[in-house]
Every structure is written in C-alpha cells, then in structure tokens.
A and B are shown apart, each in its own frame.
Chain A
Amino acid sequence: MAGVKIKDVVKRYGSVQVMHGIDIDIEDGEFVVLVGPSGCGKSTLLRMLAGLEAISGGTISIGERVVNDVPPKERDIAMVFQSYALYPHKTVAQNMGFPLKMAKRPKAEIDEKVGRAAEILDLTKYLDRYPKALSGGQRQRVAMGRAIVRDPQVFLFDEPLSNLDAKLRVSMRVEIKELHQRLKTTIVYVTHDQIEAMTMADKIVVMRDGRVEQIGAPLDLYDNPQNVFVAGFIGSPSMNFVKGRIGTHDGKKAFVSHKGLVLPVPETAADEGREVVYGIRPEHIRVGSPESGVPMNVVVVEPTGSETQIFARSGEDMIDAIVKERISAKPGERIGFEIDPVDVRLFDDKTQQRLR
C-alpha cells in the first residue's frame, strides 16, 4: 500500500492544454473520489496515474517512487474500467488469475488467491463461466476480483458503476466501501455522480476544465464550498442561486435580486452594494406562511414519499425547497420560504468565489 502524490501535473494534446497544473495529495489507505462533469479531465488524470496516458509536465509518485516514465505494468496498480474490460475468451477464474499468471506465480497460489477473492465477492459458483454468461453486476465483481487478487499499492476505479442500473449501483456502492474498509488499500475513484462521491469518499476532488476546484471531505465540501461551481455540483438537488446585490430592507441588511426578490443574509455579510450570487440549499428552506417567510407562488410540487420538493416563484426568480413533511400546496398558492441566514452562502458575482 502507498500514497499517491500528484504535483503540478500538466497535459497537452499538441498545442491544446487540457490539464492545468493539478496538485493532489493522496494519503496511504485513503479513498479519494475525483468528481466533475464530463470533459473535466478526471478520467484522463486517472489514466495518467495508471500510465495509460503520458503526462506533459509535473510529477506523479506512487509511494516514494516517481512513476512519470514507468510503464503501467510496473506501477503496481490495479484498475477497474467502466466497461469492466473482461477478457471475453477467458473464464471468470482465468480473468481473475490473469495478473498473477503474468507475474509467473505458481498455479497453486493463483488458485488460492482467486478462490479467496471469489469468496469475498460471492463469485465462487461462477468461476468456470465466461463473461458473456454473467449479469452486469457479476461482471463488475469479476473486474473487482481481478484487481483484488493482485494486492496492489493503489486501486484505480474509472466510473465502475455507471453501466449498472440504479438499484444495483447502490448495493455495489456499499460493497466497494466495505471492501475498502476491509482491505485498507488506497483507492482513487472517478465518477461524475456526486452522490457516489459523497457517500464513498474520505476525500473528494472536484474538477472542472482540467483544474482542481476544491479538495476536501464530503461534508466539508457540502458545508463550505469555495465557489459557485462546487456549491452547485455537490448536493442533490443542487443549491439555488440568485444573482443580485447586497442592500437594505426594513432597516436590515438584505439581499436584493436583480429582479427584486428580497432574501435574508447574515449581518456579517459583504458590504452593501456588492454584486453577489446568493446560494441556499433546497433542504435548508422551511415552508411556512407568506407572513413568516419570503412570500412565493407555488409552481410545481413533486412529492416522492420521503420528501416533497416545491418549486416556487417570486417575480421572475425561481427557488426550490425540499422538505420532509407532506405539503398539500397547490400551484399558484402563496406560501412563505423561511430561510435561516446561517445557511446562506454568498459568492462574488465576478470571481464566483465564496465571500466570508
């Protein structure tokens, strides 16, 4: 097992630079999730860690060793691809034993390790089957088994759950997390799904356009996003954003949107007149009467059983709230959104950075 240090890593394709100085420190045994929208460079970064893609600048070290020019097979890493990348002409046992066979391990040892991994992953009955005779979830487990048997320094996962249906994804999520707790091997995991990131990671790296936007523990990112992008990306449904400026209302400091919506802000908020983006998470809004909160008109109500999401409008500004109670508001009805100023996040309109 080993940590991973990514220092000032740059990637260029010809004259186009796609990665702009990535710095990430991954500690030994940590579960790190790289998350971001499509094209943010997270998969490229993972492939650079694996050695499948060359880096144009900076250094990548696994453990103490700089691996910039080390070929994939000598990096002592295991990778699980989104497509699982199973060898179609090999049985489950042969697939899982392949890395050991390449390492010229004795057959008895291969059988033993494959058997043990199969037990952990509940694949013992399928060892003689070919990948085409397995379901998606089973293939996924074979791919993981192939990674486990190697006992590598680092596991790399490239969107491993994206091809599974929603239900299976949740159970595999738990399995992978459990596996990590058992094996305690460093994991670098790529996903575009922020829920996966939040639920599994010790540390999340949010990326956009080849840059790291923020690194932190899941709840830290949720509570203290450094900019509008991270605030919007982490959390589901995503944070409400309203553009406007800081002003006064009824003698108190308040936020006034460009379209006239007035929302409460903490007294310590930015200077009056400053152009800001106002952020409030739907789950931090309580629904009350028009007198008790910000008066809004209900547009759509979406009950899901466990919670109810309400989209409401005031003038041209739309805000949504999510509450545990079952609310029987009708479209067009007037309600009040109660906002605790403590939950409000303000960002500079120009730099998009958090204002404190």
Chain B
Amino acid sequence: MQSNRLGWILLAPTLVILFFFGVVPFFYVLWLSFHQWNPFAVDPNIIYNGADNFRALVFDQGFLSSLGVTIAFVFFAVLSEVILGYFLAQAFMKEFPGKAIFRTVHTLPLIMAPIIVGSIWKLMTTPSIGIIPTVLDDWFGYDLNIGTSALAAFTVTVIMDIWHWTPLVTLTLIAALASLPADPFEQAQIDGANKRQIFWHITLPMIAPALLATVFIRLMDALRTVDEVLMLTGGGPGSATRYLGVHIFKEVFPKTNYGYGSAVSIIVLYLTIVACWLLYAALIAPRNKKA
C-alpha cells in the first residue's frame, strides 16, 4: 500500500503534464472536429455540425489530392530510407578507414531541427543560386526548378526526407545487426546457404522486430511531416507537395478553419493507426501466433 502510494506520487508530475498537454488537447481537437468554428467567418461562434466536417472531407478535392501525394511521399521516402539505411548499417558493420568520422557526419542530419533542414534544402535548390540546380545544369544540362515542376518538387521533398531520416534507420539497424549472434550465420554457411539466402532466411527474420519498429516510427513521422516541406516548397507548386500536415496547417492557420482542420487531424491520426495496425497484422501477428 505504502509503495503503491509512493509510486503514484512519483508518477504524478508526468501524469499531470500528460493530461494537460496530451489528453486535453486531443479531446479538444476531437470535440472541435464535430463543430464549425471560424472566428473570422460571418458567424464566429462554435457551432455543432455533427459529422459535417467528415462528410465534407470525402468530397474535398484538396483533401483527397493531399491524401494521395502524402501516401506517395510516405511510400517512397520510408521505403528508400529502410533500404538505404540497411545498406549503410551493413557498411558500418565492417571496418574501414575513417569509419568513426563518417558515422558521426552521417548522423548529423538527425540532430537538426526540421525547419533548419527545410531552410538548407531551400537554399540548395533555389534556381540560379542553389548548388543543386547549378550543378545539374552545368553537368547534365538539366534545369531543376522546384517552384515550377511538380515532379521535381515532390522528388526533392522525398530526397530531403531521406537525407534527414535515413541515419535514424541506420542507427537502429546497426544496433540490431550488432546484437545478432554470429553462430546462426556461420551455421547457415555450413548449411549451404549463399549470401542472398542468408539475407532472406536468417538476417531479415532476425532483425525484423527492430526493422518493423523503425518502419512504424518513420511511418508515423512521415505522415505528419509539416515544417520541412512548408519551408522548402510551401506545399507547391500548386498542391504537388501539399502533404496532409501542410494541408492541415494551411486550413487551420491562414484560413482559421479550426473545425475542419481538426477533422482532418483526426482522420490523419486514424490513418496512421490503421497503417500501423495493418503492418502489425501482416508482419508481426502471424509470427507471434506461431510461437
């Protein structure tokens, strides 16, 4: 009893903070999503409108196109990060000169604030002054302009995300690979497996838990990307890079469309949960059931 009370006392500060900064805002947003509230509209009051916001979403071209580009963005970014991260992790498992320096430099993007990452990439990609368009033009005669080309803007945001977050995948996978016992791999060699078979039959299943955890984290993060993209492209050109986070931001802040923005937020949360659950159901649950 005594220790129980002490436990609650020790937990209390966290619980209080969590309550005010997590639970309250969540329910507030949930509550708002069932209301119409635009302080600068004809009627600035908060008016209950049932599921109107959600109903409107289904027919909202802006939202649907945003959802489409977001899914494409998340797919390409996360997939590339996982593949690239795996190969980098494998490379870091080997010894080579300058490894320590290279590994440190490689993790630098991780410690940068997204807004800074956005600024750096904006500087690097601004036509005529940025290093990337200059080099592409000089070497390949390619005219990169993320202000006019939707594909270029989309691609650059994906590359920026890869640049920013691959180190996270690499670090997680280095930890996972380093913790693997050596014996099963030697055993697999003796059992007649070649490199490709060892990867599919031994390495991949053995790092799967760490790999999936990383994918979850990256999936959730990528689905709510805002600041970097807002800084780099502002969601343009047109709505080519208007990912859900950017879409919500633009609905809520410049347009002060709070009720509608809340509804989109709730849907994004729902999508994130569904995506993670699908991954879990497809990849982890069958393993647990067998064991």
Contact = CB atoms under 8 A, between A and B. Distances in A.
Given A102-B197, A103-B192, A85 B206 contact: no
Interface in A72-89: 72-73, 75, 77-79, 81, 83-89
Contact of B191 (A51, A73, A130): A73
Interface residues of B, number: 21
B191 A146 contact: yes
A286 B201 CA distance: 61
A71 B193 CA distance: 11
A78 B184 contact: no
Contact of B181 (A85, A90, A133): A85
B287 interface: yes
A73 B190 contact: yes
B190 A77 contact: yes
B39 interface: no
Interface in A116-162: 130, 132-133, 146, 150
B192 A102 contact: yes
A86 to B, nearest CB: 7
Say whether chain A's binding surface is mostly helix, strand, loop, or mixed.
loop
Contact of A52 (B181, B184, B189): B189
A57 interface: no
Interface string B173-197: 0000000010110111111111001
A102 B189 CA distance: 10
A89 B206 contact: yes
A86 B188 CA distance: 10
Nearest to A88: B206
| Residues of B contacting A: mostly | helix
Given A52-B186, A72-B189, A130 B194 contact: no
B202 interface: yes
Interface residues of A, number: 29
Contacts of A103: 192
Contacts, number: 67
B186 to A, nearest CB: 5
Contact of B290 (A84, A99, A130, A150): A130
A89 B183 contact: no
Contacts of A130: 290-291
Interface string B266-291: 00000000000000000000010011
B267 to A, nearest CB: 36
Contacts of B183: 81, 83-85
A153 B54 CA distance: 69
B187 A85 contact: yes
The listed residue with most B CB atoms (<10 A of its CB), out of A89, A102, A132, is A89
B181 A132 contact: no
Nearest to A101: B201
B184 A79 contact: no
B197 to A, nearest CB: 6
B189 A71 contact: yes
Given A50-B186, A73-B191, A130-B291, 14 more contacts: A51-B189, A52-B189, A73-B189, A73-B190, A79-B186, A79-B190, A83-B183, A84-B183, A87-B188, A88-B206, A89-B287, A98-B193, A103-B192, A130-B290
18 contacts: A51-B190, A52-B186, A73-B189, A73-B191, A73-B193, A77-B190, A79-B190, A83-B183, A85-B181, A85-B184, A87-B205, A89-B205, A89-B208, A98-B191, A99-B192, A102-B192, A130-B290, A132-B291
- 4 closest A-B pairs by beta carbon, nearest first, are A85-B183, A85-B187, A99-B191, A89-B205
Interface of B: 181, 183-184, 186-194, 197, 201-202, 205-206, 208, 287, 290-291
